[in-house]
């Protein structure tokens, strides 16, 4: 008996994911060929937010700034290591390592990890909606983190009620040892300045609890996919107790719904 292997037909999620990765790669190429400022202005949404360290509407702030001698002087190199999309194909995320090189300063090389939320505009073009990065001691390796998280929810979408549900989850002050772990997805990821990304509920929860006993989140905005299975929030945090007591900064969260429809914190990224 012979078995004939047939090519797998890509489904809608795979097609959307491929187009998102292509958009990120094109964005990175443009940065090297035409400079950081030009590439970011061309690829960010009208309401796209970048952190400097607080959130700034890039399309409002960057055009007024003088252009640097790019790309020869300042080079930002990056590539997507992992990505995911909502089942509605209108929202997704990309993440991976980046390297910043200043050719005017011999030996100036900085490594980090970026995390970007993408949304499709009215014409179906992917645009960056939220972008944040953390610095890492050396070039970040994403292979040990495992496969990129995926939304598991396939039920009815109700963006308005789910937006309210997320705001209730975020507008809170909580104990890191008891409450934080309950919010996390099994494959949650943690990005913090000066450290490599961490994966896994237990490892993420232990790291956070060991650095602060209480955390307060103040969300500024919620962005949610049409399928109601993926959402991004950003805002300000304040930590108390532990080694990070008194620390304040800004965060970006990616929330994915599990098969039972519960929101789970999947990426927790801060720049403080």
Domains of the chain, residue spans: 12-145, 159-270
pLDDT category, 1, cuts 50, 70, 90? very low
Give me the mean pLDDT over the 192-210 stretch.
96
Q: Give residue-wise pLDDT tens across range 119-140.
A: 999 999 999 999 999 999 999 9
Q: pLDDT digits over 133-170, tens only? A: 999 999 999 999 999 999 999 888 888 889 899 999 99
pLDDT on residue 148: 97
Give CB contacts under 8 A, 24+ apart, made by 137-142: 137/111, 137/194, 137/195, 137/196, 138/111, 139/97, 139/99, 139/111, 140/96, 140/97, 140/111, 140/112, 140/113, 140/196, 140/197, 141/97, 141/196, 142/81, 142/82, 142/95, 142/96, 142/97, 142/197
pLDDT for the residue 11: 87
Local confidence band at 272 (pLDDT 50, 70, 90 cut-offs): confident
Q: Are 235 and 217 in contact (CB under 8 A)?
A: yes
Give yes or no on whether 12-145 and 159-270 have one common fold: yes
Confidence class for position 65, pLDDT limits 50, 70, 90: confident
Average pLDDT, the chain: 92
Whether this model's pTM surpasses 0.75: yes
Calculate what percentage of the chain has a pLDDT beyond 70.
93
Residue 63 has pLDDT above 90, yes or no: yes
CATH 3.30.1490.20 fits 159-270, yes or no: no
Confidence check: pLDDT of 172 > 90: no
Asked if 20 and 85 touch (Cβ cutoff 8 Å), the reply is yes
Q: Return the CATH architecture of domain 12-145.
A: Roll (3.10)
Q: Is the pLDDT of residue 178 over 90?
A: no
Q: What is the pLDDT of residue 159?
A: 81
Mean pLDDT of 233-237: 97
Q: For 55-59, what is the mean pLDDT?
A: 97
């Amino acid at each position: 008996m012979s078995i004939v292997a047939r090519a797998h037909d890509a489904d809608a999620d795979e097609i959307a994911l491929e187009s998102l990765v292509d958009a990120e790669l094109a964005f990175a190429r443009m940065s090297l060929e035409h400079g950081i400022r030009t590439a970011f202005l061309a690829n960010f949404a009208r309401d796209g937010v970048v952190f400097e360290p607080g959130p700034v509407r890039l399309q409002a702030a960057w055009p007024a700034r003088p252009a640097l001698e790019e790309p020869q002087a300042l080079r930002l190199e990056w590539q997507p290591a992992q990505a995911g999309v909502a089942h509605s194909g209108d929202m997704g995320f990309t993440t991976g390592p980046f390297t910043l090189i200043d050719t005017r300063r011999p030996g100036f090389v900085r490594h980090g990890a970026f995390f970007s939320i993408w949304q499709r505009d009215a014409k179906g073009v992917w645009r960056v909606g939220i972008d944040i990065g953390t610095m890492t001691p050396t070039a970040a390796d994403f292979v040990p983190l495992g496969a990129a998280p995926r939304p598991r929810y396939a039920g009815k979408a109700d963006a308005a009620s789910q937006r309210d549900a997320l705001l209730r989850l975020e507008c809170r002050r909580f104990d890191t040892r008891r409450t934080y772990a309950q919010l996390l997805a099994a494959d949650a990821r943690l990005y913090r300045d000066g450290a490599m990304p961490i994966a896994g509920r237990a490892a993420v929860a232990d790291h956070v609890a060991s650095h602060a006993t209480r955390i307060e989140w103040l969300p500024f905005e919620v962005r949610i996919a049409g399928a109601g299975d993926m959402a991004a929030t950003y805002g300000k945090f304040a930590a108390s107790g532990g080694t990070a007591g008194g620390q304040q900064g800004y965060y970006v969260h990616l929330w994915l719904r599990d098969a039972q429809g519960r929101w789970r914190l999947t990426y927790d990224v801060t720049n403080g």
